[in-house]
A and B are shown apart, each in its own frame.
Chain A
Amino acid sequence: MTEITPELVAEHGLTGEEYGRIKRLLNREPSFVELGIFSVMWSEHCSYKSTRIHLRKLPTKAPWVIQGPGENAGVIDIGDGDACIFKMESHNHPSFIEPYQGAATGVGGIMRDVFTMGARPIAMMNALRFGEPSHPKTRHLVSGVVSGIGGYGNCMGVPTVGGEVNFHKSYNGNILVNAMCVGLARTDNIFLSAAKGAGNPVVYIGSKTGRDGIHGATMASAEFSEDSEEKRPTVQVGDPFTEKLLLEACLELMATDAIIAIQDMGAAGLTSSSAEMADKGGSGIELDLDKVPQREAGMTAYDMMLSESQERMLAVLKPGREAQAEAIFKKWELDFAVIGITTDTRRLVVKHKGEIVADMPVTALSDAAPLYERPFSKRPPATGTPSFDASRPVMASLKKILAAPDMCSRRWVWQQYDYTVMADTVQMPGGDAAVVRVHHSNKGLAITTDVTPRYCKADPYEGAKQAVAEAWRNITAVGAMPLALTDNLNFGNPQKPEIMGEIVSGIDGIGEACRALDFPVIGGNCSLYNETNGEGIPPTPAIGGVGLMADLHRMATIAFKREGDAIILVGDTKGHLGQSIYLREVEGREEGRCPPVDLAAEKRNGDFVRRLIEAGRVDTVHDLSDGGVLVAVAEMALAGNIGADIGVAGTAHSIPFFFGEDQGRYLLTASPVEADRIEGELRHAGIVHAIIGKTIAEKVLRVEREGETSLSTLRAAHEGWFPSYMSGEEIPPTN
């Protein structure tokens, strides 16, 4: 029997106070296995002990929400008996240590969260933040993460349809890899994790249990240091082939009525799946570890309870249905074993080699887990309107911005993802939101991931608001109705009051935007302790949004489609340069106030634009975000290979007009006659707008008083950076 020393407790990431709590809950010293179980279940990653109090403030309900936070993923009703199930989750720490496997298993994990609820995954997205391009590890990390995401998703045959990639030095020691999975189920066939009832068989399905990933959840709940490389063994290894079989086998089993509850074994593996299922079902679970399919001999109870081997699920079946289930898993050549039974004791009991190695109340792991109201201090947001050099030539700045690491084409990335498999991808990567068809129907789902970390750093509250608004806007810009979101809250160490302040402000900002836009949070994930050697990342609350498009033939894309169309700017342009891409990339400064989001204007403008698309009056729309008006015009011109002639619309300064990042804005095109009508309606609705130019036959971008640049020159700048950087050809600029 291993003696529990204070050092051992500390190694398990538990404080002395938390250990005292364990002893009080058990009325005795825990066994070594129990200590391991408590350490993972009480880790930040599993227990949300620092954020739970604040997360409760988020709006999670709407008439179309079937399942909010608390299950493996959230569920919304998308009509006709169809349900959309989705969630986003981080795999930051493992991806930094071992980029290929870290990212791959991140993809595998989030897919299991979705198909464990009865959904077939139909689309993947991701949100990636890397260090500055000149950092020696960045190329290696980009290369490994992208191929890991592709390697897993491509094999699964689920299209990866979009995402974001940012570079900034503040992620040098702690990259972010957030993966989102969207699945489709029937509203009457959704599976939950509540293991209700006693005497039901608990079955283990999928891969065998090995020694990989032990203490992954605990690792993900601590800061990084120089010796993080030593933590490589805590990273799991993915096997997408087995996951594909597991997916098909689970869906086959779910077509029967044999299942009472099912949950994937993700973080904290067998421990969290069994404890959470018993907790939600108001039952107990007794496990016999001798029955667990094992990859190697000599595994201890501790190893098995804490292993994070991938591609495993735990299910509770109706009694007597074991043979039916087993036949399905045999067909798919997967392991299947009855490893336990549900009880009415409300205890988690673990047996190994005839001995009870753990026996604890289920609630000790859930309700009785520590809950911290950590002290926080909110730092004042960055303020001020930065100066700029008004003499800089606009076209040269545009070219520079289009070629900047954060702004250039991501083709190098998404070409490594199979984005057309399943033959339902209607809008591929590169647009405002990806659109996938709901199979065998004429409706679609619009999906996006968004956050602008530099805004969040300047002002965590406004920045979080902006992330939600931008997700809502991107979904709107393709013509879909935003329905719900999942949030992936990436922050630093919550034990530092200033970081906790960022978390609280971020959650408050998300909540305010969600309420104003009727865009509830239906699930998510917190990734804290994103720090290396004491230096935290900027607050990065990534938002994954989903919207519904009723008719796929009424959809907008960013590409210019015809010559002679008027280009209409919808929304108020004050020329906000604070925290803008222009300021950072051209002036070399990151300062000033971030653009405020007027949520009422956001909603009014977006609803107006969406109605135009839904009515079939507009098919070309681009939301305005990073880089502002002129960058958006250039992206639309490049996507359609049609030129544009832009006036300056009577503004005093062209630089703030063209590059300011005021929120709640869209560009759209229409024939001159239709544009007249739209202008009249915009005036009537009280929406600030302007016709800023028109599309033209020549393949150039021409700007009044600033000259013109050929689309081929802009394209070369836009497309060139990523491939040349990754091939090591260019010494990248730092940001």
Chain B
Amino acid sequence: MKSAVIVFPASNCDRDAAVALEQMTGRKPHMVWHQECDLPDVDLVVLPGGFSYGDYLRSGAMAGQSAVMRAVKAHAKKGGAVLGICNGFQVLTESHLLPGALMRNAGLKFVCRPVTMAVEETQNVFTRKYLHGQQVTFPVAHGDGNYFADEETLNRLEGEGRVVFRYAPGQNPNGSSRDIAGILSEKRNVLGLMPHPERVVDPLLGGTDGRGLFESLIETLS
């Protein structure tokens, strides 16, 4: 599987994503600077966590307008896989590759802790190696992770089986509507999620629950 990690100014999980990708796939991803207008020939594009452009406007808003996002949109339109983690999820909603918005956490504070979620959908390139309904624990670390969409959109996401990760009861760290932690695009090739799978691929760091996501991608895209 060939992959690329987009680097915005003040992305800060770009290295973590690259390390996890290399560890899982055996290949270094391309690191693509935000001013690039073209993507290398890759199967997967990762939008990493961080504070793109400082996130002084809405989180992800500036990045959504960047040169490289036009190329990412084209990649998605062709059916290419796009994974947005944390700030990457925010960029995906801001660039309308995914519906809804990520608002300030309901508790109004940045929250960093492990959260347990259920994998509710496995019919897609990102989670097929998990069991349906499997409980997984990834860390979250964000201030703006409160997923919001109107009722109609939420109903459609649920109805189309696009809610991939849902916080387990009592685990919702940010007030997200219907405990949503991660969603798919209509064509199921774009995934955005707030928790960090790339931080749980190494047993030394307290868990390997994130591996399934990378293994799923490798199986489908290699």
Contacts and interface: CB of A to CB of B under 8 A. Distances in A.
B110 A147 contact: yes
B189 interface: no
B54 A239 contact: yes
Given A241-B54, A423-B16, A423-B202, A416 B10 contact: no
Nearest to B111: A415
Interface string B20-45: 10000000000000000000000000
Nearest to A239: B54
For B12, B50, B113, which residue has the most chain A Cβ atoms within 10 angstroms? B12
For A240, A414, A416, A423, which residue has the most chain B Cβ atoms within 10 angstroms? A423
A553 B111 CA distance: 29
Nearest to B139: A420
Contacts of A414: 112
B51 interface: yes
B141 interface: yes
B9 A552 contact: no
B141 A154 contact: yes
A157 interface: yes
A150 B12 contact: no
B155 to A, nearest CB: 33
Given A422-B16, A423-B19, A241 B9 contact: yes
B213 to A, nearest CB: 15
A333 B53 CA distance: 11
B112 A415 contact: yes
A419 interface: yes
Interface in B136-173: 139, 141, 143
A684 to B, nearest CB: 34
B183 to A, nearest CB: 23
A421 B53 CA distance: 18
A147 B56 CA distance: 16
A572 interface: no
Contacts of A198: none
Contacts of B110: 147, 150-151, 154, 416-418
Interface residues of B, number: 30
Contacts of B51: 154-155, 157, 240-241, 244
Nearest to B56: A241
A245 B205 contact: no
Contacts of A426: 204-205
A155 B16 contact: no
A607 to B, nearest CB: 26
A658 B202 CA distance: 39
Contacts of A155: 10, 12, 51, 54-55
B211 interface: no
B102 to A, nearest CB: 16
Contacts, number: 84
B111 A416 contact: yes
A101 to B, nearest CB: 15
B13 A157 contact: yes
A72 interface: no
Contacts of B205: 420, 423-426
B104 interface: no
Interface string B182-215: 0000000000000010110010111000000000
A19 interface: no
For A239, A240, A420, A425, which residue has the most chain B Cβ atoms within 10 angstroms? A420
A552 B204 CA distance: 8
Contact of B141 (A242, A418, A553): A418
Contact of B12 (A157, A333, A419, A428): A157
Interface residues of A, number: 32
Contacts of A418: 110, 112, 141
Contacts of A421: 12-13, 16, 49, 141, 199
A425 to B, nearest CB: 7
Nearest to A151: B110
Contacts of A428: 206
A332 B54 CA distance: 13
Contacts of B198: 423
Given A420-B141, A421-B16, A157 B50 contact: yes
B129 interface: no
Contacts of B49: 421
Interface in A379-421: 414-421
Given A244-B10, A416-B109, A437 B204 contact: yes
A156 interface: yes
Interface string A65-107: 0000000000000000000000000000000000000000000
A245 B10 contact: yes
Nearest to A422: B16
B15 interface: yes
A156 B12 contact: yes
B74 to A, nearest CB: 24
Given A154-B141, A423-B205, A244 B12 contact: yes
A156 B11 CA distance: 9
Contact of B9 (A147, A332, A415, A423): A332
For A157, A244, A333, which residue has the most chain B Cβ atoms within 10 angstroms? A157
A241 B204 contact: no
A183 to B, nearest CB: 15
A244 B109 CA distance: 21
Nearest to A418: B141
Contacts of A333: 9
Nearest to A157: B12
Given A419-B112, A421-B49, 19 more contacts: A157-B10, A157-B12, A157-B13, A157-B51, A240-B54, A241-B56, A244-B10, A245-B9, A245-B10, A415-B109, A415-B112, A417-B112, A420-B205, A421-B13, A422-B15, A423-B202, A426-B204, A426-B205, A428-B206
Interface of A: 147, 150-151, 154-157, 239-242, 244-245, 332-333, 414-426, 428, 437, 552-553
11 contacts: A240-B54, A415-B112, A416-B110, A418-B112, A420-B139, A421-B49, A423-B20, A423-B198, A423-B202, A426-B204, A552-B204
